[in-house]
Structure 1
């Protein structure tokens, strides 16, 4: 099993979810996060004062999938989240040693 963590633009969530639905991915965790990367933030004006926002709002998706599906799901996320602009996000992959469904006690791929 592999854990896919994708940091994406909040406005691309619906497209990413629709793309994952096409692959039968039903379980995911979505967390609102803030971060900084190459985008380096932006400058805003509020009530006549200028200030810099250097931590950009993003969403982090966490999905655990079987190894056989990883490449297809990563490509689905990347293509749905891509705008071509700086700040589209990143995808990280990590091995998952085991998973346990608390309700039934199922382990491994059955628990996912």
Structure 2
């Protein structure tokens, strides 16, 4: 099993969610986060005063999937979140040693399906 964690622009989340449902991924954890990388934030003006926003809003999407789905999900996230501009996001893939469904005590891939 693998954990995929994607940090994407908020406006791309809905398209990603629909794509994930189409390939059978329904279990997600979604968090509103803020961060910066090469994008470095942006400058703004409020009531005539300039200020710098160093952390930009992002959405973090996390899912545990079967190992054979990894490339398909990476491609789906990449396609649904791509603009070609700095700030499109990142995808991280982690090894998952075990998963346990608390209600039924199921383990492994049975616990995530």
Query: TM-score by structure 1 length?
Result: 0.98
Cα distance in 1 between the residues matched to 2:85 and 2:22? 25
Shift in Å at residue 18 of structure 1? 1.0
| 1:25 Cα offset (Å) | 0.3
**1:32, 1:6 → 2: CA distance?**
12
Moved over 2 A (4+): none
Cross-structure match for 1:27: 27
* Rounded Cα–Cα distance in structure 2 between residues aligned with 1:36 and 1:84: 17
What's the counterpart of residue 39 of structure 2? Answer: 39
Matched, 1:104 2:92: no
Structure 1 unaligned residues grouped into runs of 5+ = none
Count of residue pairs the alignment pairs up: 112
Report the alpha carbon displacement of residue 15 of structure 1 after superposing the two structures with TM: 0.6
Q: Which runs of 5+ in 2 are unaligned?
A: none
Alignment partners' CA distance in 2, 1:82 and 1:65: 22
2: CA distance between counterparts of 1:7 and 1:42? Answer: 18
